[in-house]
Amino acid sequence: MTDLVGIFVFAISGALLAVRKNFDVFGMAVLAEVTALGGGLFRDLIIGAVPPAAFTNLGYFVTPLVATVLVFFLHPQVERIQRGVNVFDAAGLGLFCVTGTAKAYDYGLGLTASATLGLASAVGGGVLRDVLANEVPSLLRWDRDLYAVPAIVGAAMAALCIRFGILNPLTSTLAVLTALSLRLMALKYHWRAPRAWHRSSVTTEEPERVMP
């Protein structure tokens, strides 16, 4: 059930970007599906879990369509509650990095690889969304609040819990909440990651605005 919440909010972010890019309703649905399911799809292909959960669980497929319909009719209202969307997106991020790590480990990957795949399933959908929309992935941009670090911390916590045999609902929830809180604090205090040294004063790319 909780994963459907994560899928839903990721789908919202995909559908909203589609509206901003002036796509039609099918473009919205495609971007919603890709954002919501892309990360998990990548993880499942890597660990050999085929067909991936995205294609065997009907709820996973339908949820992004519901999000699309909602954004289609109500997008000005959805934009207005961007802050609320951000909170749910942070929850999805925390959830996916932990469950992704656990699933990869269940399929026999090492701890580092599992945590990497946990990270990839949390952020992969957003990267695919931006690539399809022909944008520089916001994950990579220095002028975006930290997104990768919270997921890395959550995935690393899950991997450590596995390592010491203490991954249970309680510690999982703790890892999810840690990632969620870090992301919310990054949003609130505009935490940024550093760029390469000697780089701060020059910009070769003109500033781009994605989010109005």
Binding residues (CB under 8 A) for its own copies: these are 18-28, 30-31, 41, 45-48, 50-52, 55-56, 58, 61, 71-73, 75-76, 107-110, 112-113, 116-117, 127, 131-137, 139-142, 148-149, 192-199, 203-205, 212
For residue 39, the minimal CB distance to its own copies (Å) is: 13
**Cβ-based nearer residue to its own copies, 51 or 84:** 51
Residue 64 token pair: 């992004």
**DSSP-derived 3-state class of residue 44:** helix
Residue 159 CB partners (closer than 8 Å, separation 6+): 101, 105, 111, 112, 114, 115, 118
For residue 169, the minimal CB distance to its own copies (Å) is: 27
Residues 161, 172: Cα–Cα separation, whole Å: 8
**Cβ-based nearer residue to its own copies, 45 or 166:** 45
**Cβ-based nearer residue to its own copies, 168 or 203:** 203
Residue 210 CB partners (closer than 8 Å, separation 6+): 17, 20, 135, 138
**Cβ-based nearer residue to its own copies, 18 or 91:** 18
